[in-house]
Amino acid sequence: MNRRRVFTSVALSVGLAVMLGGAVLTRTVPPFDLAVDLAKGIPQSGVTHPITAVLLQFRSYDTLLEIAVLLVAVVVALALRDPQGAHSAAPESVMVDSVITTPVLASLTLMLLPLMIMTAVYLLWAGAFQPGGAFQAGAVLAALGILWRVSGRRIGPFATNRWQHVALLSGFAAFLAAATSTLLFGRPLLAWPFSYAGLIIVAIETVLTVSIGISLLGLFASAPEPVDKRA
């Protein structure tokens, strides 16, 4: 690494720190406080926890686009899979590289399977009134899938099976369907009626959890095989 590169990097880094630090320290406080308006709107949102209300009622457009980004990432990852490698349709090909073959991991994964599913369901349900929600539950499910895969059992590849495609797609499809269904009733996009909002939010979060878990697992499982494993 040559000195000129290091010097310019350090200089740019220090300059950025000074500028950003100055901006952070001299910021002007905005005259409004959104948190106060949010607290007034929480009772009408169908859930009690403010973050879940923000994610799925007040800023649900951001969450919809986030699920779309996740889906696009999974689709691109599946498109980049190696056609001759472990992701071909041959059922005998196993992920040889990421497997840790100890009996402890295998039996521990079996024991953790029901516990992690229960944790994910609890996090999903508890997100309505305390910290939790769809993303945390989906992450626990994805972690379970990764453990399952690393201990040697096969989940995926996610490119061949039609049901896996449905599972990947279902989260975004359900959310989009719910979002646009409000248009049918003359309301703006994503503006759920307050009387049904709690039910809709729980239903969408459930589908989201499964979809997020499978998408994150699909992103982990679509990694290409190492070079020296090929012919």
| Separate counts of helices (H) and strands (E) for the chain | 8, 0
Contact status, residue 174 vs residue 184, Cβ threshold 8 Å: no
Pick from 45, 46, 47, 53: which binds other proteins (CB under 8 A)?
53
93 binding other proteins? (CB under 8 A):
no
**Per CB under 8 A, which region of 138-146, 174-182, 187-195, 196-204 contacts other proteins?**
138-146
Region of 26-34, 174-182, 184-192, 195-203 interacting with other proteins (CB under 8 A): 26-34
Whose Cβ is closer to other proteins: residue 198's or residue 224's?
A: 224
- 32 or 185: CB nearest other proteins: 32
Task: Please report whether residue 146 would count as binding other proteins according to CB under 8 A.
Answer: yes
Query: CA–CA separation, 178 vs 46, rounded Å?
Result: 15
Q: Which is nearer to other proteins, 46 or 133 (CB)?
A: 133
Which is closer to other proteins, CB of 38 or CB of 155?
38
Question: With respect to other proteins, which residue has the nearer C-beta, 40 or 186?
Answer: 40
First CA to last CA across the chain, in angstroms?
Answer: 35
Give yes or no for residue 116 binding other proteins (CB under 8 A): no
* Span from 58-66, 104-112, 164-172, 186-194 in contact with other proteins (CB under 8 A): 58-66
Residues 205, 206, 209, 212, CA torsion sign: negative
Residue 155 within binding range of other proteins, rule CB under 8 A: no
Sequence-ordered list of residues with C-beta below 8 angstroms from that of 147, at least 6 positions apart, any chain: 105, 109, 112, 116
Q: Which of 98, 160, 170, 181 is close enough to bind other proteins by CB under 8 A?
A: 98
What are the two backbone dihedrals, phi and then psi, of residue 81, each rounded to the nearest 5 degrees? -70, 155
> Hey, what amino acid is at 104?
V
Would you say the C-alpha torsion 143, 146, 152, 155 has a positive or negative sign? positive
